[in-house]
Amino acid sequence: MPGFEIFGEDERREVQDVLETGVLFRYGFEQARNGHFKALTFEKNLGKYIGAEYCHLCSSGTAALSIALASCGIGAGDEVVVPPFTFVATIEAVLNAGAVPVFTEIDETLCIDPDGIENVLSPRTKAVLPVHMCGAMARIDEIKSFCDRKGLALIEDACQSLGSTFNGKGLGTFGRMGCFSFDYVKTITCGEGGAVVTDDKELYLLADQYSDHGHDHIGSDRGLEGHPILGANYRISELNAAIGVAQLGKLDSILGTQRRNKTILKEAMSGFSDISFRTLPDEAGDSATFLSFFLPKEEKARNVLEALGRAGVDGCFYWYANNWHYYRQWEHLKKMTAAARLPAEILEHCPDYDKIELPRSDQIMKRTISMLIKLSWSDEQIQERVEKIQDVLKG
Ligand SMILES: *Cc1c(COP(=O)(O)O)cnc(C)c1O
């Protein structure tokens, strides 16, 4: 799955370009940078790859979420519909915007169930933030038409699903804005990095300005630039962007390897009546970073997980008990413990996160195991895995 598995000569060459000029900043220094614009190049290539009109790089996926929320005008007291199964960064970004995360149930896509969103709407709901988990898509067309019907902003967290598509259209391009991460364990990595994409020029300009203290980036003299808005610093450095340029060039081959490896494992498991697979609204668009499957009952899932571990099948995740990805384990959220004091607007309107119940999501997550698909497996290693998995499932 992760880009770090194939870090090599191309990455070093791109970084070397930057080191030779010494220009580590993405803006200005036109004379000294010797024609190297790594952030700009990565943005252009990435936007094209995803199929978005505009793309802006930033320092992380978490930053991308904050930028998207700010650009879409989501702030104090606004409610944002989120799934309980995500990386906790999604929730942090909403709270740090001064907005209120409101949980809704997932379905067997492991993403937000479009049919459940209506139940959690209030007059304060401003946005829906689905997360395309584990490399594949939510029922994003239905979520989009729901948002359009209700006049809600759709922001996609596609941090785990770069290169994944639904009916040929890139994830991240269905909503007003899409967010990506290039941290060290994502499909491709910059070390640290992120991006927002959009087809809306105005949103793009806001994102560009917000990530750099409101600078309008008109002209090359920073001292003379205008500042239409207040912002923050979510800039990416040229060094990180340089790695991204090289990694993006490998994305097609990464996806090809993942899909091939995943197909072998999936076929090897499909004869077992106890196993059913995650629903994929468009299987061809799956980026295949994970193989996720369900057992009929929680106890069975826990037993299979343990047996896989004993058999030496590594990279298996039981998200239900994982303290980074499922709301049940988020102690800090339940206690609303934040380093900085949370604004009154949030505290006043937040549900009691310790008491919320999401029975359908629990039922799904209790039965779910995800297997990481690696790029570096040899044919022998895959065959060995197949045999071990089949032994466990027979037992
Ligand atoms: C990784 C991730 C993020 C955050 O990305 P960072 O680059 O680590 O800040 C946000 N959402 C999801 C779903 C993620 O997996």
Q: What would the pLDDT profile of 260-295 be if each residue is shown by its tens digit?
A: 999 999 999 999 999 999 999 999 999 999 999 999
Among residues 197, 218, 250, the one where a domain terminates is: 250
Helix 379-394 and helix 298-310, axial crossing angle in degrees, nearest 10: 140
One domain, residues 386 and 270 = yes
One domain, residues 71 and 92 = yes
pLDDT at 59: 98
How far does residue 146's CA lie from ligand 1's centre (Å)?
25
Q: How far apart are CA 84 and CA 53, in angstroms?
A: 30
Confidence (pTM): 0.98
One domain, residues 45 and 193 = yes
Pocket of ligand 1 (CB under 6 A): 60-62, 86-87, 89-90, 131, 157, 159-160, 181, 183, 194
How far does residue 339's CA lie from ligand 1's centre (Å)?
20
One domain, residues 234 and 262 = no
Among residues 196, 219, 250, the one where a domain terminates is: 250
Nearest atom, ligand 1, residue 62 CA: 9
pLDDT confidence bin for 29, thresholds 50/70/90 = very high
Among residues 210, 228, 250, the one where a domain terminates is: 250
Mean pLDDT of 97-117: 97
One domain, residues 202 and 309 = no
Element containing residue 332 per DSSP (H, E): helix 331-334
pLDDT at 1: 65
| Phi, psi values for residue 112, rounded to 5° | -50, 135
Q: How far apart are CA 97 and CA 72, in angstroms?
A: 11
Pairing label, strands 316-317, 290-294 = unpaired
Element containing residue 96 per DSSP (H, E): helix 89-96
pLDDT confidence bin for 150, thresholds 50/70/90 = very high
Q: How far apart are CA 305 and CA 312, in angstroms?
A: 11
One domain, residues 243 and 329 = no
Mean pLDDT of 137-166: 98
One domain, residues 134 and 270 = no
Question: For the domain that residue 103 is a member of, what is the CATH number?
Answer: 3.40.640.10
Return the best residue to mutate from 58, 159, 196 for the ligand 1 pocket (most ligand atoms within 8 A of CB): 159
Mean pLDDT of 156-182: 98
Check residue 134 and give left, alpha or beta (phi > 0: left; psi -120 to 50: alpha): left
- Alpha-helical regions (H) of 199-297: 201-210, 238-248, 251-269
Domains contained in the chain, number: 2
Amino acid symbol at 360: R
Q: What is the mean pLDDT of the chain?
A: 96
Q: Of the candidates 305, 287, 286, 285, which has an alpha carbon nearest to the alpha carbon of residue 295?
A: 305
One domain, residues 199 and 288 = no
pLDDT at 340: 86
How far does residue 87's CA lie from ligand 1's centre (Å)?
6
How far does residue 328's CA lie from ligand 1's centre (Å)?
18
Q: Of the candidates 139, 374, 166, which has an alpha carbon nearest to the alpha carbon of residue 279?
A: 139
How far does residue 209's CA lie from ligand 1's centre (Å)?
22
One domain, residues 69 and 168 = yes
One domain, residues 155 and 243 = yes
Q: SS3 for 205?
A: helix
Question: For the domain that residue 330 is a member of, what is the CATH number?
Answer: 3.90.1150.10
pLDDT in tens, 323-379: 789 999 999 999 998 888 888 888 888 999 999 999 999 999 999 999 999 999 999
- Taking CB atoms within 8 Å and a gap of at least 24, the contacts of 114-119 are 114/138, 114/139, 114/142, 114/143, 114/146, 115/142, 116/360, 117/81, 117/143, 117/146, 118/146
Q: 355: domain range?
A: 252-394
One domain, residues 239 and 268 = no
pLDDT in tens, 226-268: 999 999 999 999 999 999 999 999 999 999 999 999 999 999 9
One domain, residues 240 and 269 = no
